[in-house]
Amino acid sequence: MSPCRIWRFQLNRQVTINLLTTVPAGAEFISAGFSDGQLSAWAIVNPNHGTDPRCIYVIGTGQPLPEGSLRHLGTVNDPDGFHIWHIFEEDTT
């Protein structure tokens, strides 16, 4: 059986840049959404790997995108019924 797992990483929707420092190296982010009212991103990880900091952007509709190469993880409706968030991972490849 593979050592890989799917982990959830909580994101702060109050800031544009979320620096995740506990992501195992080589993790592949696969989606974003809300879980129990908390904005989150999910990734396939190998917990046996060392960590590799990753930068996740939380961008509101109509807000400027950061410069550089980004990979879209998902667009989610905030449970507040007002905000729409677009979640991107900084592409470092």
Residue range of the domain that includes 56: 5-90
Letter string b/e over residues 16-45, b meaning 16 or more CB atoms within 10 A of that residue's CB = eebebeebbeebebeebbeeeeebbbbbeb
Q: Who has greater pLDDT, 33 or 92?
A: 33
Residue from 8, 6, 7, 19 nearest 58 by CA: 19
pLDDT at 79 over 90: yes
Q: What's the number of domains the chain is made of?
A: 1
pTM value is 0.91
